Structure 1
Amino acid sequence: MSVHTFRARIRPERIAEMEEAGEKMFAAIEAARPEGVRYAWTRLDDGESYVFVVEFENGDNTPLLAVPAFKEVMARLKSEWISEPLVVERLTPIGSYKLF
């Protein structure tokens, strides 16, 4: 198992666009139903920062790359929406109740 967080600060004028694209992306992921992955987006209280959490059952091999909407949103996130560098951290779960 591999768990990562991605923290992104989004340009205020791009937030609505990013969230709309995210909703469509999650609908595409739900339709594709890739195995071996759990994925979530969360917005922080400042309204501009987001934390994305992903768990891969098989190391860092992501089945999300098979979903075109995921690849498109990630490309736009990195090139259009973020206002500062993306922060990526690997998590080491110590204990979990139905989360990891």
Structure 2
Amino acid sequence: MAEERVTKLASERAVVVFTKSGCCMCHTVMTLLVGELAVSAAVHELDRDPLGREMEKELARRLGRGAPAVPAVFIGGRLVGGTSKVMAMHLKGELVPLLKNAGALWL
């Protein structure tokens, strides 16, 4: 059930971010995407969703061993990763082209 829900929610917009309220790394990623890059992301706070705990386990499984489950960033329906992956991509100049290809940026 959680696997299907994550997959469904991850494909609802060009950029989808799974977060938890009060998570500073989630805030950092959202500041970059929404504040700096002006992306209109769908945000799902797992601690406010009845299936949040199960979805968090599913995201942790997808992200791999040892990685925090949130934030989990999907671009174009594909899991990109968490904070370190998104920030690394941004610093390498890879994030903006990916966002453009997904239709999340028009500039």
Structure having greater relative contact order (Cα 8 Å, sep ≥ 6): 1
Higher share of residues assigned strand: 1
Assess same fold via TM > 0.5. no
Q: TM-score, normalised by structure 1?
A: 0.32
Q: TM-score, normalised by structure 2?
A: 0.30
